Amino acid sequence: MQINTSSLQSQPRIVYAIFLLVTLTPLYYVSYQYHLRHPYGSSSPLDRPAHPASPQFIRDWLDTHVVSPFNPYALEWYCNQSDWRPGLVFNLANANGGIGNIRGNMLDFLFQSIEAGASILLPGMASRSDEDLSNVWASRSPFDHFFDEEWFLKTVQKACPEMSVYKPQPDQPLKEAVPGVFYPRSRRADTDFGNSKRAYLEGLQTFLDEHGQVEPDNVTLVDLERTLWEIDTRSLPLNFRRDFGQLLRINPTIRRLAAVVVQQLSLKFGVDIDPRIAIPRGAFYGAHLRTESDAQNAGWLDETNANFSAQTDSYIAQALNHKLKVIYVASGNATDLALFRRKALSHAPPLNVTSKFDLLPPNEAAALKDMTWDQQALVDYEVLQRCSIFGGLAKSSFSYNIAMTRNQWLEDQGRVNDPWMVQHSEDGVSFDDGISRVLARDGVHEQRIPRGMWP
């Protein structure tokens, strides 16, 4: 077809306007619809989720995070407020425990370093004995034992360029720290109005005056005592609180095993899961069955709603409430896991109970077996964060951390509620926000975690 341009050119302006409108409107509409369906430029060319058997499923799952997108702006702004002191380097001497505690220790430490304008030694951690789970001091492990080192270094470098992160090499002698250990003053203004940034910095200055001077061209290394949930995170800018915890992502090798677990769960039980959705509806229930020997030794299971039968009753009831047929269980106790499986199968209606070692193919299962007890738990940590509905135990900072991170996701969706209201309406329940329920009560956690834990 030939277009007669000369006749077009001779049309009055109003005709052009209509012509443009008629041409552009469908284009605009199509593009609008496309962007509605692909908000951030999805990695998949089609709107459909990747087939669970495809490698794209794994990639999409790994590209998705619960608190997302990560926005470093508030962190950059906060770092900009510090007086950076070249030469002052902090060392976290003794982070310890499982992921819930170590994550808390490290985030408090990073916050304290930022406020002091100090650089840091890349923190490591004490690791638990595989023979005696109650002994969390058995040996030492580096940062990447749990966390994604590359992501951490890249993100700190970008958001806080004035903070240097030194990574001690095994063969490199370390400069000696100044004598003594610095106990950072709490920043929990909710327990004491005196717990301000200024009071914290004065405490540091007093320590440095007594134990060593900071000279710009010389490194002054200070050992910090670990703290746990000692920052009032809710007194900080909202976005700072939201994004700060995202500095610590789980080691990608371990995270990949979690993606494979979810993929296999989807295949084995025929559950539809869109790997691009952080917390999919109607897919599977996630339970943290916390009945291992160390929990028994600590007396945790003697309290209301904390023993094996109370935990498993509640997890089954909640799964059924939400019409979920598959329960993914995290537990370090193989005996109790088998008991739970039998209990759920003989329930009417029966439910399928599964776990990471049931689901992983032989190669991945072997890789997981080579890891330590706390590293294996990180696979559960990642899978449980992204289950449809979660159930855990208040005594466990692992459980509570999962619930708190998921609660941030809920808040990001504009669904803000008070998860602690349930303490007044039900016996033996600590937290319930509709997507996560934390059983039993724990005075210390209920006082420390709501404001002190980083999501």
Q: Give CA–CA dist 140/96, Å, rounded.
A: 9
- Tell the smallest beta-carbon distance from residue 125 to ligand NAG (Å): 22
DSSP assignment of 96-157, as one string? -SSHHHHHHHHHHHHHHHHHHT-EEEPP-EEE--SS-TT-TTSEEE-GGGTB-HHHHHHHHH
Task: Specify whether the CB–CB gap between 214 and 87 falls below 8 A.
Answer: yes
Nearer to ligand NAG, 282 or 350 (CB): 350
- Nearest approach, Cβ of residue 335 and ligand NAG (Å): 5
**Least Å from the CB of residue 213 to ligand NAG:** 9
CA distance 93 to 211: 17
Q: Are 307 and 340 in contact (CB under 8 A)?
A: no
CB nearer to ligand NAG: pick between 101 and 305: 305
Neighbours of 14 (CB within 10 A): 8
Q: Which is nearer to ligand NAG, 221 or 379 (CB)?
A: 221
CB of 403 to ligand NAG, least distance (A): 20
Nearer to ligand NAG, 199 or 422 (CB): 422
Closest distance of CB 133 from ligand NAG, Å: 7
Give the DSSP letter string of 10-37.
Answer: TS-HHHHHHHHHHHHHHHHHHHHHHHHH
Considering the complex, state which of residue 20 and residue 174 has its C-beta at the smaller distance from ligand NAG.
174
Residue 309 CB, nearest approach to ligand NAG (Å): 5
Least distance to ligand NAG from the beta carbon of 298, Å?
12
Helix (H, G, I), strand (E, B) or coil at 305: coil
Q: Which is nearer to ligand NAG, 98 or 452 (CB)?
A: 98
447's CB contacts (< 8 A; 6+ apart) are none
Closer residue to ligand NAG (CB): 251 or 333 = 333
Give me the residues paired with residue 141 across strands: 125
Positions in the binding site for ligand NAG (CB under 6 A): 73, 76-77, 80, 215, 217-218, 268-269, 291-293, 304-305, 307, 309-310, 333, 335-336, 350, 352
Contact 243, 71 (CB under 8 A): yes
**CA separation for the pair 206, 417 (Å, rounded):** 42
Report helix, strand and coil shares of the chain as percent, to nearest 5: 45, 10, 40
